[in-house]
Structure 1
Amino acid sequence: MESRQPNSTDEIDLDHATSARRIQRLSSHLNPPLLDGAGAETAVSLMACAARAKLEVDTEQLSKYMRGRYRDVQQGVYDYFNSRHELQTPIEISKDEHRELCMRQLMGLVREAGIRPFRYVVDDPAKYFAILEAVGSVDMSLGIKMGVQFSLWGGSVLNLGTKKHRDKYFEGIDNVEYPGCFAMTELHHGSNVQGIQTVATFDPMKDEFVVDTPNDGAIKWWIGNAAVHGKFATVFAKLMLPTHDTKGVSDMGVHAFIVPIRDMKTNKPLPGVQIHDCGHKVGLNGVDNGALRFRSVRIPRDNLLNRFGDVARDGKYTSPLPSINKRFAATLGELVGGRVGLAYSSVGVLKIAVIIAVRYSLLRQQFGPPKQPEISILDYQSQQHKLMPMLASTYAFHFATSHLVDTYGEMKKTHDEELVGDVHVLSAGLKAYVTSYTAKSLSTCREACGGHGYAAVNRFGSLRNDHDIFQTFEGDNTVLLQQVAGYLLKQYKEKFQGGTLSVTWNYLRESMNFYLSQPNPVTARWEGQDHLRDPKFQLDAFRYRTSRLLQSVAVRLQKHSKTLGSFGAWNRCLNHLLTLAESHIETVILAKFIDAVRSCPDEKSRAALKLVCDLYAMDRIWNDIGTYRNVDYVAPNKAKAIHKLTEYLCFQVKNVAKEMVDAFDLPDYVTRAPIGMQAAEDAYTVYTQYAGF
């Protein structure tokens, strides 16, 4: 088809004027403030200059701000394993060899390197989680085994027991003389802990509890440390007390008991304890997961972890809490540290993957303009779109989980009820959101590195397989997000009944009516870069979305409850509820990221963090732009400006991507991927050496 030609000078001028306006509008979307208002005739050249402009990032200062006060203790972990080559996990290793190596690694860390994580589980949780992240970077199986020993088995003794338990078991747990398990999950029950079927019946004649597995569904399953190394287990069971009525026994609810499972000298299972191996897994094969069945196993009455419920010699039950549900909630509340650790460690895994993918994308070159040199694959917009929002998210998650760790530590010190509720829900939400995001990102990083990402030596396969279960244990992610949604609805109800709101939910308390009001038709059209990069606009957008979702799901639940009942209504609205929970968690993450940017003392680091913070915010808004468009929160032209700004920020972050991943401060001997080495010139040399060249 023949193109239409202008037929007059006026038409040519009009076309030029229209083009100029379009260029000017585009420049206002994409350019930094110094370009705003630039004439159309200079806009393109100024944009080219801006594209070449690059932030100066002081990697050392940024790293210092990121890693904080526990940088030295993490470096101690790295240095120890770097000096002990026989303790480094090889690329190819059998399940049984990996399990034994993992145990030697743990023993070496504690007894040879003198790093004693158990000392910090209660007294300095932030230091404990810093060690856990570093250990997981060495080998994720080792990180999980350490978590089972100190956080789950040891943590249950400290948090659910009393002084007599601490005095008896602390030293043995600390030096790994008492390796132990955490036996909560059953073959038929995982997330629904109150439904577990294992029973512990008190025998007043012998002053003992008798632990029984009543059926195959009650076999304790997936119990870390059980298959090979565990000598003790914290067993969760229904506490049954004998009565003088026709029932014979009274169910006092789920309690925790210390049950010895192996002979301390021979390592053989004790009488009545059957131990089986859960076998080869998709990942984490350095962890010896096993199954436990108990057949009339007798334990002393003192082995009841009795902080929230106790049985006297005469069989009388006492508790500081009035009901089974409150005791159960208090018990699980004390075990929330596992979720905190998983969320924090998952960010550590994401850092490694992003480092490898970004460095390789800067190194690898292919294609390019005709008759010109090849360009790095990170110069391609598609690669930037894959990796730069991920890099921004990694920073966002780092600050959000660091805040969670600090809040958890404060909760352990003060036992403040408001903080307890805050940590419970925030840990559930961040664990679910971060581990799901990391799992998807690991596959994206593998694909972004092409065929070389498929080589086992470059780690994406092992990272992906080992991390995958993070989405399931310590609470299935879908179940945890429902807890977040349920808590939001509770807060929403209390808001309109005049109640108070806890710290994390401040924006609901302070501005709920504002966020539920009709969008301002003027601000809905604002599309300047200063506006879009304003933290207030970004937070308002996130909070508005969450508030709308919360209001609409509350209305839907009320409507469906009339015909379906509360359970049926919840199930009918489940996808809506999950979206609400994710929206709220994204809001919290952004708020903590903005706080971290403002608090950064180094000007250059603050500018770099502001850039990736803006990308995190714009990327999330653009990913859900349909929601904002549907309620006219964002006008069409503003939506286009958000899209363009997101692409531009991806490009700008690409320019400092090397410095941003270097600031994670993970040595090559920790990332251990030839294609992800810090010195690009060494990458192919080391990689080919693995193949024998």
Structure 2
Amino acid sequence: MTVPLTDTVPPSTVEQLTGVLLGPEFRHEHGFWQRLISTEPFRRPAGGTPEERLELAYDRLRILNHCLDSGARLASDPRALAALHAWLGPVDPALTTVAGIHYNLFLGTLLDHGCVGRRDLSDYLTMRRIGTYLCTEVAHGNNAAAMETTATYDRERDGFVLHTPNAGAQKFMPNTSPAGGAKSGLVAARLVADGGDHGVRLFLVPLTDDVRPLPGIRVRRLPARMGSPVDHCLTSFDRLFVERDALLGPGEPGDVQAEFRTGPGDRRRRFLTSIGRVTPGRISMSACAAGSARATLAVAVRYGGHRVISGTRGAPPVPVEAHRTHHGPLASAMATVFAMSLLSRRAQERWEACTDEVGRSEAAGLVDVAKAWITWRAREVIVESRERCGAQALLENNGMTELVTGVEGAITAEGDNIALYAKAAADMLFAAVPGGDDGPDRDQRPGDLADPRFLGRLLASVQDIWFARARERVLRTPDADADADALGRWNAASGPALRGVEAYAYRQAAEAYAEARAALPEGAARDRLGELERLFAVEWVARNSGDLLARGLLSGDQVDALAESREELIAAVATHARELADSFALPEELLADWPIAGPGYADAYDDPRGRWHDSPANAR
């Protein structure tokens, strides 16, 4: 019997830890998605070809949309979009991709451009037409300065002619095929009017009907992509005329001058507005990666308790999780998954809290770094969890293979990770406090490895060390010709600067841990979170112990003690691994669809015609 929570029944340890991972309002923010993926339409089907799985993804998209009270409300709420990605990601990566494109990139951009009340959005809200987003070009990525697709203003017809001038200008990877039904897209193109280039703008363009691309539009499916079967395509335009109201912009209909005016900074501002949904998209990619990592780790923890192996020297059989070689990597993964989840929330909350342009820019920088760091760590956790489950985790019915390949998409989607790190490194390189490896005000007092505050200071020092090295390399690079040597200076500094960004991400995650622990009351949940926090920090400090020792921030005895401290923390975390995995709040219906998550996993491979189903005599 389940005892309902009341004011007199305190939350359990698991419930408190769920609140740490998903936020204090997790029932309100995440409950809808937990319930949705527990329903029959979202249960895992058996097998299916890639085309059948793609069709299923679009069918599920329509079911999802029907369950919403408002698609526009979802599109305007970054928290809801992040929750969608966190819960749908482990269930159906293809569905997650097309839902993110439709609600965030397409509908969200229309809302950001003030289209409510000025345009009829009913086709997109009811999904009579599915939305997609066409920005990236084959030869140019999202490099606006090099974008070649044009939209030339035709004054006589008062509209635009969309054109793809060469193969390199084809739009790359949008889901523009007729699969799933009729589609419209937001197309980024260079606006040309009266002989002038007015920068990259967005145009709302019908692309297909239910069967084929519309006249003037060519759509070709790309080769099969690793992971989920989304209909990624190459899309081009052959002098396609669109009405003037296809252009998204601030002007009123018919106000040509207002639409085309490009004062100082207008082009950049308009382009940034056009791609403004990238930041909520990166928040969603972080949530998706963290959710997928939680799911695979939960399955690995459960399987480790179910899978029994022979004991040593005639001892009784033991679950595989009893071995340090098995539970050690999963304990480290658990500390990382909590860090990923906490950093994802920290970045999102910082971005939501900022209203001024400077603060929003800094918060967006944290979102960028968090997206890259979280998706990279998710790959490590997912691969480790898969490996701990052996050959059975390579089978599609056990749910992990799609997530192993799916996380690769998250690493590239909404900005390649290395590019995000490089931008952050360039922004932070000279913003880092000059004056020495450890900054002028860094606390240099010796401390105790059991003290999270001391570990936090060490993490901050690692960041200082790498940025100091990057600055030193810049200063050693000749600068006779500033323009010619800019790339040389960056190349000299980029290696250590990227390490500095990585250290910044670890530091931010550690600070998120500390804040979450401080918010918990004394008790078991706080103890569990403290063990995870220290394990996370100790492992990072150990990786950088040589630098910290060289600068007198760690003693030789402390470096020796790091290994023992790590082993003690692994043992503590592993003892509570199942409880920690339960705090992920994954629905039992989801886990039931992955055989190795349950104790009867071998039954999934039973042969109904096997002789063991006969009488004992026949079986012999």
Is TM (by shorter chain) over 0.5? yes
Distance in 2 of aligned mates of 1:313 and 1:630 = 65
Distance in 2 of aligned mates of 1:557 and 1:226 = 48
Residue 157 of structure 2 is matched in structure 1 by 206
Q: Deviations over 1:469-495 (max 9, x none)?
A: 111111111101111112212523xx6
* Residues 77 and 536 (structure 1), Cα distance of their counterparts in 2 relative to 1, 3 Å cut: closer
Q: Does 1:241 align with 2:193?
A: yes
Which range moves more in the overlay, 622-631 or 394-403?
Answer: 622-631
The gaps in structure 1 that reach 5 residues or longer are 1-55, 243-248, 498-507
Residue 462 of structure 2 is matched in structure 1 by 545
Distance in 2 of aligned mates of 1:486 and 1:310 = 41
The structure 2 residue matched to 1:77, chosen from 33, 36, 51, is 33
- Aligned partners of 2:293 and 2:337 also within 8 Å: yes
Distance in 1 of aligned mates of 2:218 and 2:109 = 22
- Aligned partners of 1:333 and 1:420 also within 8 Å: no
Residue 441 of structure 2 is matched in structure 1 by 514
Distance in 2 of aligned mates of 1:338 and 1:179 = 18
Distance in 1 of aligned mates of 2:459 and 2:385 = 27
Name the structure with the higher helix share: 1
Structure 2 counterparts to residues 338-417 of structure 1, below 5 A: 338-411=281-354, 414=355, 416-417=356-357
Residue 637 of structure 1 is matched in structure 2 by 557
Residue 429 of structure 1 is matched in structure 2 by 369
Distance in 2 of aligned mates of 1:308 and 1:359 = 57
* Residues 334 and 383 (structure 1), Cα distance of their counterparts in 2 relative to 1, 3 Å cut: same
What is the total number of aligned residue pairs between the two structures?
594
Query: Secondary structure at 2:141's aligned position in 1?
Result: coil
How much has 1:346 moved relative to structure 2? 0.6
Q: Deviations over 1:485-533 (max 9, x none)?
A: 12212523xx669xxxxxxxxxx9xx94123x8x55xx2xx5xxxx212
Residue 197 of structure 2 is matched in structure 1 by 251
Query: Secondary structure at 1:479's aligned position in 2?
Result: helix
**Identity across matched positions, percent:** 22
The gaps in structure 2 that reach 5 residues or longer are 1-10, 614-620
Q: Does 1:274 align with 2:227?
A: no
Distance in 1 of aligned mates of 2:146 and 2:430 = 24
Distance in 1 of aligned mates of 2:304 and 2:474 = 47
- Aligned partners of 1:57 and 1:608 also within 8 Å: no
Q: Deviations over 1:290-318 (max 9, x none)?
A: 11100111122222221499994358732
Which range moves more in the overlay, 586-595 or 220-229?
Answer: 220-229
How much has 1:465 moved relative to structure 2? 1.6
Structure 2 counterparts to residues 70-109 of structure 1, below 5 A: 70-71=26-27, 74-85=30-41, 87-109=42-64
- Aligned-partner residue type, residue 558 of structure 1: L
Which range moves more in the overlay, 381-390 or 221-230?
Answer: 221-230
Q: Does 1:220 align with 2:171?
A: yes
Residue 505 of structure 2 is matched in structure 1 by 585
Query: Secondary structure at 1:513's aligned position in 2?
Result: coil
- Aligned-partner residue type, residue 260 of structure 1: P
* Residues 573 and 639 (structure 1), Cα distance of their counterparts in 2 relative to 1, 3 Å cut: same
The structure 1 residue matched to 2:86, chosen from 113, 116, 133, is 133
Query: Secondary structure at 1:137's aligned position in 2?
Result: coil
Distance in 2 of aligned mates of 1:119 and 1:260 = 23
Larger Cα-atom Rg: 1
- Aligned partners of 2:74 and 2:80 also within 8 Å: yes
- Aligned partners of 1:231 and 1:261 also within 8 Å: yes
Give the TM-score, by structure 2 length.
0.89
- Aligned-partner residue type, residue 107 of structure 1: R
Give the TM-score, by structure 1 length.
0.80
* Residues 539 and 184 (structure 1), Cα distance of their counterparts in 2 relative to 1, 3 Å cut: same
Query: Secondary structure at 1:336's aligned position in 2?
Result: helix
* Residues 491 and 689 (structure 1), Cα distance of their counterparts in 2 relative to 1, 3 Å cut: farther
- Aligned partners of 1:57 and 1:656 also within 8 Å: no
- Aligned-partner residue type, residue 295 of structure 1: D
Query: Secondary structure at 1:562's aligned position in 2?
Result: coil
Q: Does 1:260 align with 2:213?
A: no
Q: Deviations over 1:428-456 (max 9, x none)?
A: 11111111111122222121112222222
- Aligned-partner residue type, residue 258 of structure 1: L
- Aligned partners of 1:404 and 1:426 also within 8 Å: yes
- Aligned partners of 1:145 and 1:225 also within 8 Å: no
How much has 1:554 moved relative to structure 2? 1.7
The structure 1 residue matched to 2:477, chosen from 554, 560, 578, is 560
* Residues 65 and 591 (structure 1), Cα distance of their counterparts in 2 relative to 1, 3 Å cut: closer
Q: Does 1:120 align with 2:74?
A: yes
Structure 2 counterparts to residues 413-492 of structure 1, below 5 A: 414=355, 416-492=356-432
Distance in 2 of aligned mates of 1:279 and 1:544 = 46
How much has 1:136 moved relative to structure 2? 2.2
Which range moves more in the overlay, 402-411 or 69-78?
Answer: 69-78
- Aligned partners of 2:300 and 2:386 also within 8 Å: yes
Distance in 2 of aligned mates of 1:645 and 1:670 = 36
Query: Secondary structure at 1:475's aligned position in 2?
Result: coil
